[in-house]
Amino acid sequence: MTLIDAATLAAQLAEPHPPTVLDVRWRLGGPPGRDAYRAGHVPGAVFVDLDAELCGPPGAGGRHPLPDPDALQRVLRAAGVRAGHPVVAYDDGDGQAASRLWWTLRWAGHDDVRVLDGGFAAWTAQDRPVTDEEVTPPAGDIEVRPGGLPVVDAAGAVALADAGVLLDARVAPRYRGETEPVDPVAGHVPGAVNLPVGELSGPDGRLKPVADLAAAFSAAGVDSDRPVGAYCGSGVTAARTVLALHAAGRTDAALYVGSWSNWVADPDRPVATGENT
């Protein structure tokens, strides 16, 4: 279960027991997503902050490391997330932040979660209702149980690149080491294969059809016989790749949460540049 469209979400919100809707609009470097939420959001949606609430403090573990389970549980309960009750996550429209929230909830043991395909842009494009009323939901009762989705660290990323397929979800110039706007070192994990996350969605931000996703993954060397995982700069963009892998049937796909920001924190780790090296 990965996606929901705007029409289906609107119908579910009109039902007696609607899903919990979480607004996780976020952009690297800002502006703050909470400002966009306050300006207008899906009725009933609760804002959660990707940087401050869904990830641990940045450091050697990366810019968006795994959150402390107890802290995450408090955040999710405050947002109204209940055990066994469906959750819908949305962002501005590219699906990256919402996919990281989807991944985090799945990792935390909450299976019934979907991403609004096309995000808030898809909602407003259909003239769906928008409100600026902030929501204080009844407290949820979710119990965070880490381990619902596979995670790899730097050593696991090396093993994936060796025995399976490690997908680098960043744009090609960053992968090749030609530019690095965020982290101190440019390049990629040796053996990783570049598949920019933008190639998995259409211009409207909606995920491509399953057949197109399967073809893109196959062209990158993904097959049913080898393990697969993904990384990016800090584990946000690559969560979108993992969601797409799930949609294409690879529910065993791992996320290197620390990603490149963790990899380059150790100067002894090798760095590759150029095409698929």
Residue 276 has what pLDDT?
Answer: 74
DSSP annotation of 265: T
Residue 66, sorted as left (phi over 0), alpha (psi -120 to 50) or beta, turns out to be beta
> For residues 13 and 45, is the Cβ–Cβ distance under 8 A?
no
- 268 domain-assigned: no
Number of domains in the chain: 2
Domain boundary among 108, 125, 142: 125
Residue 30 has what pLDDT?
Answer: 80
Domain boundary among 109, 125, 141: 125
> For residues 264 and 185, is the Cβ–Cβ distance under 8 A?
yes
- Catalytic positions are 232
Say yes or no: 161 and 259 in one domain. Answer: yes
Say yes or no: 178 and 80 in one domain. Answer: no
- 204 domain-assigned: yes
CB atoms within 10 A of CB 249: 13
Domain boundary among 125, 141, 167: 125
Give the phi and the psi of residue 44 in degrees, each rounded to 5.
90, -10
Q: Which strands make up the sheet holding 3-4, listed edge to edge?
A: 3-4, 113-116, 87-90, 20-23, 46-47
The residue segments making up the domain with residue 190 are: 151-263
Say yes or no: 89 and 167 in one domain. Answer: no
- 136 domain-assigned: no
> For residues 140 and 80, is the Cβ–Cβ distance under 8 A?
yes
Q: Compute the distance between CA of residue 190 and CA of residue 162 in angstroms, rounded to an integer.
A: 9
- 180 domain-assigned: yes
Say yes or no: 116 and 7 in one domain. Answer: yes
- 272 domain-assigned: no
Say yes or no: 93 and 158 in one domain. Answer: no
Say yes or no: 80 and 159 in one domain. Answer: no
Say yes or no: 186 and 111 in one domain. Answer: no
Say yes or no: 21 and 101 in one domain. Answer: yes
The domain that holds 235 is classified in CATH as 3.40.250.10
SS3 5: coil
Residue 161, sorted as left (phi over 0), alpha (psi -120 to 50) or beta, turns out to be alpha
Residue 221 has what pLDDT?
Answer: 97
Say yes or no: 121 and 158 in one domain. Answer: no
Residue 277 has what pLDDT?
Answer: 62
- 131 domain-assigned: no
Residue 57 has what pLDDT?
Answer: 97
Say yes or no: 64 and 105 in one domain. Answer: yes
Structure tokens, 24: 């996780």
- 80 domain-assigned: yes
Q: Compute the distance between CA of residue 261 and CA of residue 28 in angstroms, rounded to an integer.
A: 14
Say yes or no: 170 and 234 in one domain. Answer: yes
- 42 domain-assigned: yes
Per-residue pLDDT of the chain (277 residues; tens, 9 = 90+): 799 999 999 999 999 999 999 999 998 888 889 999 999 999 999 999 999 999 999 999 999 999 999 999 999 999 999 999 999 999 998 999 999 999 999 999 999 999 999 999 999 999 999 999 989 999 999 999 999 999 999 999 999 999 999 999 999 999 999 999 999 999 999 999 999 999 999 999 999 999 999 999 999 999 999 999 999 999 999 999 999 999 999 999 999 999 999 999 999 999 999 987 6
Say yes or no: 8 and 119 in one domain. Answer: yes
